[in-house]
A and B are shown apart, each in its own frame.
Chain A
C-alpha cells in the first residue's frame, strides 16, 4: 500500500466532481484528499487526488478514472519527479508573552506567516508538503489549537512534463 497522487484534467461541468467521488466510493478505493478548481481554461478543472493502494489497485483507479467520459487527461504524479504543496490555516491560542514568542518562533522556522492577530490568538498560514504541515502541528503540541483548515494536496510534475491538452 503506497501513497499516490493522481492529477486529472476534467470537464468543468456540474456533476463532474460527483462522478469522481462516486467512483471512489462505489469501487471501495481509498481517498485521502481531493482538491479541485478551474484552470486557466475555464472549461477545464484540475483535480488532485491523494490515494493509497497496491500497484494493481492504483492501476485500476487510473483506468477507471480515464474511463469516465468527463475526464480529459490524467497523470499519476508520483510516477515521476514532482512537487506537492498543501496550504493550511491554523488558529492557535497565544495569550501569554511566552506563548506568543514561541508560536512566532515556530512559525518562522516553518516559513509560515501570521496573518491575523488578536490579544489572545494567532492565525497562521503555512504552505508546504503534507508532511511538513503534520510536523508543524506536532511542533505546536504544547499549544492549544482552536482550528485547523487544510486545502488538501495540489501537485505538479517537475521539468518538461506537463498535464495539458
Chain B
C-alpha cells in the first residue's frame, strides 16, 4: 500500500489506536488535514486555541491513562501549544504533539510561520523529533508513542516538514509493531535486595508514614497501594497529584500534605521515624523547608525515574522501578514473611495522630451569610456522589477542590500540579468528557482562571460536551490576594478582577446554560438543577466570600510543623511553633 506523508501520519495514529486528535489547522499542516478529511477512524476535535488542544489531550490522558494526541501548525500553532506541553511535562503526562514545520528547503530562512519548534520545546519535552525524511515518518511516530508512554511518561513532539506530507509523493506504508531505541531502556523492575531492605526498615518503624504521589496514579498502582497500606495499617498522606490513589474516605488516610495539607499529615511527616515515598518527587510545595524536612526519619523512595531520587532530599533506601511492581513485591514479602509490625508503638503513634486530627484543621464558618467556597466543594461531592471527574484550574479553588472533594478513586482528580497552569481546567474537562461521554465531569474554576481559555465554550457546543463549570467567583485572584494579605501587608496589587463579564449571558451567548448563585440558600437548588441537566453544559457562576483563605498554610520555606491555621478550627493558635 502506497501512501503520502499526510496519509501515513494519520494511518499511523489509527494503527497506534488513537481515538481522538485535538488540533487546529494551518498552512504547514494542510496536507495532513486533507488526509484527516478522507478518513473516519481518527476523530479530530477542533479547539479554539492550540493551548486548549494540548490541555484537552492532557485531560484525556490523565483520565484514561492513554496518551493524548495533538496536531497543530507551525509557528504560532507550535508556540501556542508550548504552555500545554510544559504543563504535561511537569506532571509526567504521556502525550504526542505533532507540529507542522515549513518545508525543509526553507528551514532557517525565517519563512512565513517558521519557528525552531524542536529548539523551543526541547526543555519541556521528554524527547522531540524533526522529521524531514518521509521514509522515517511511521517509525518516528512509533518511537514517539514508545517514549511518551514508557518509563516516566511525558510529552513528545514530532515536528513534520510540510514537503514530506505532499499528497503527490507516496511510499509503501508499514507501521512497525514495536521499536527499540538503544539509548533508551527505562528501568522498570525494582532491585530485590533494596526491596527487602525497605520492608525490613518499614517493619521496624515506630512512627511510620506513607507519602504517595502522582506516580501511583500514572503507574496504575492504586490497587497495590491499597493492599500495602491496609496490610501495614500505617497512616498515609498524598500529594496534590496523588489524590485518589488511596481512598480519601479511609480511616488510614490523613489527607493531603504540604503547603495546604492537613495539620495531621504535616505533623505526622515532621515527627515520623520511617517515611516511604511512593511515586512522589519531594516537590518544594510538599517539603517546605528542606533542612527541617522529616528530621528524624529514615527515608525509602520508590520512583521510576532515577533522577528523582536524592534530587532534593537525600534518601536512605532508594528503589528505582515501576511503582506497581515494587509494591507488589513488597506485598508478597509482607504476606509471606514472619516479621510483624511494631504493634504497641504503632498504637501509640495513632493516638498522637488522632490528637492532631481532633484539631479539625479543615473547619470553616458554616453559619456565614456568604457562600463559602469549601461548602460548594462539599456539596459538589454530595451531588455527584463523590464519583465525578473533577478538573480544576489554578489557585484557591484548586486547593479547596483538592481538600474538600475527597477523591476515592484514581484518575478522577485532574489538575495542573507542577506547572500550575491557569486555563487548564475547561479544555482538560473536554478531553475527559470525550473519553467518558456518560460520566459527570465538573470543572472547578475561578473567575480569573476560566477567562484564560474561555473560548473553549465554543468547542464544547460543537461536540455537545455537557461539562459542569463550577466557578468560585470571589472577584479576586484569590491565591494572589491571600499571599498579599499574609506577606504584603494587604497591598492588593492587581489581584482584584474588575469589569468581569456577565458569565450567565456569556454562557448563553455560547449556546449553553448559565446560572448565577449569590446566596447560600440558593446553592443547593442551583447545583441540583445544573447537575440534573445531563446533556447541557452549565456554567455555575457562584459568588463566594471574597476574603476566604485556604488553610492550613505553610508559608514558603517554612517547616511542616509551622502552619497558619483556620480561625475556625479547634486550635486556631497553630502548633507549638506558631508563626508570628
Q: Which of B123, B130, B184, B305 has a CB less than 8 Å from the CB of A22?
A: B123
Kindly provide the distance from the CB of A67 to the nearest chain B CB, expressed in whole angstroms: 5
Question: Which secondary structure dominates where chain A touches chain B?
Answer: helix
Q: Does B126 contact A (CB under 8 A)?
A: yes
- Considering only CB atoms, which chain B residue lies closest to A56 in the complex? B310
Q: Mark A59-70, 1 if CB is under 8 A from B, else 0.
A: 110011011011
In whole angstroms, what is the CA distance A67 to B185 when docked? Answer: 10
Once A18-B119, A19-B122, A56-B310 are accepted as A-B contacts, the answer to whether A67 and B305 lie under 8 Å apart by CB is yes
In whole angstroms, what is the CA distance A18 to B130 when docked? Answer: 14
> Are B147 and A64 in contact (CB-based, < 8 A)?
no
Kindly provide the distance from the CB of B6 to the nearest chain A CB, expressed in whole angstroms: 24
In whole angstroms, what is the CA distance A66 to B307 when docked? Answer: 9
Kindly provide the distance from the CB of A113 to the nearest chain B CB, expressed in whole angstroms: 39
Q: Does B182 contact A (CB under 8 A)?
A: yes
A-chain residues with CB within 8 Å of residue B126 when the two chains form the complex: 69
B-chain residues with CB within 8 Å of residue A71 when the two chains form the complex: 183
> Are A59 and B310 in contact (CB-based, < 8 A)?
yes
> Are B306 and A63 in contact (CB-based, < 8 A)?
yes
> Are B123 and A64 in contact (CB-based, < 8 A)?
no
Q: Does B547 contact A (CB under 8 A)?
A: no
- Considering only CB atoms, which chain B residue lies closest to A16 in the complex? B183
- Total of A-B residue pairs, C-beta within 8 Å: 38
- Considering only CB atoms, which chain A residue lies closest to B308 in the complex? A63
Once A56-B314, A71-B183, A72-B183 are accepted as A-B contacts, the answer to whether A26 and B127 lie under 8 Å apart by CB is no
Q: Which of B118, B182, B305 has a CB less than 8 Å from the CB of A15?
A: B118
Among residues 546 to 569 in chain B, which have CB atoms less than 8 Å away from a CB atom of chain A?
Answer: none
Q: Does A165 contact B (CB under 8 A)?
A: yes
- Considering only CB atoms, which chain B residue lies closest to A43 in the complex? B182
B-chain residues with CB within 8 Å of residue A22 when the two chains form the complex: 122-123
> Are B130 and A69 in contact (CB-based, < 8 A)?
no
B-chain residues with CB within 8 Å of residue A11 when the two chains form the complex: 183
B-chain residues with CB within 8 Å of residue A64 when the two chains form the complex: 307
In whole angstroms, what is the CA distance A70 to B307 when docked? Answer: 16
In whole angstroms, what is the CA distance A151 to B123 when docked? Answer: 28
A-chain residues with CB within 8 Å of residue B305 when the two chains form the complex: 67
In whole angstroms, what is the CA distance A67 to B307 when docked? Answer: 8
Among residues 109 to 141 in chain B, which have CB atoms less than 8 Å away from a CB atom of chain A?
Answer: 118-119, 122-123, 126-127, 130
Once A19-B122, A26-B123, A69-B126 are accepted as A-B contacts, the answer to whether A60 and B183 lie under 8 Å apart by CB is no
B-chain residues with CB within 8 Å of residue A56 when the two chains form the complex: 310, 314
> Are A69 and B184 in contact (CB-based, < 8 A)?
yes
In whole angstroms, what is the CA distance A148 to B456 when docked? Answer: 59
Q: Which 10 pairs show the lowest CB-CB distances between chains A and B?
A: A63-B307, A72-B183, A69-B127, A26-B123, A69-B184, A63-B306, A67-B307, A64-B307, A22-B122, A70-B183
A residues apposed to B, CB below 8 Å: 10-11, 14-15, 18-19, 22, 26, 56, 59-60, 63-64, 66-67, 69-72, 165
B residues apposed to A, CB below 8 Å: 118-119, 122-123, 126-127, 130, 147, 181-184, 305-307, 309-311, 314
23 CB contacts below 8 A, A to B, read: A10-B183, A11-B183, A14-B130, A15-B118, A15-B122, A18-B119, A18-B122, A22-B123, A26-B123, A60-B307, A63-B306, A63-B307, A63-B309, A64-B307, A66-B306, A67-B306, A69-B126, A69-B147, A69-B181, A69-B184, A70-B183, A71-B183, A165-B182
Given known contacts A60-B307, A69-B183, A165-B182, what 8 new A-B pairs fall within 8 Å (CB)? A15-B118, A15-B130, A26-B123, A63-B307, A63-B309, A64-B307, A66-B306, A71-B183
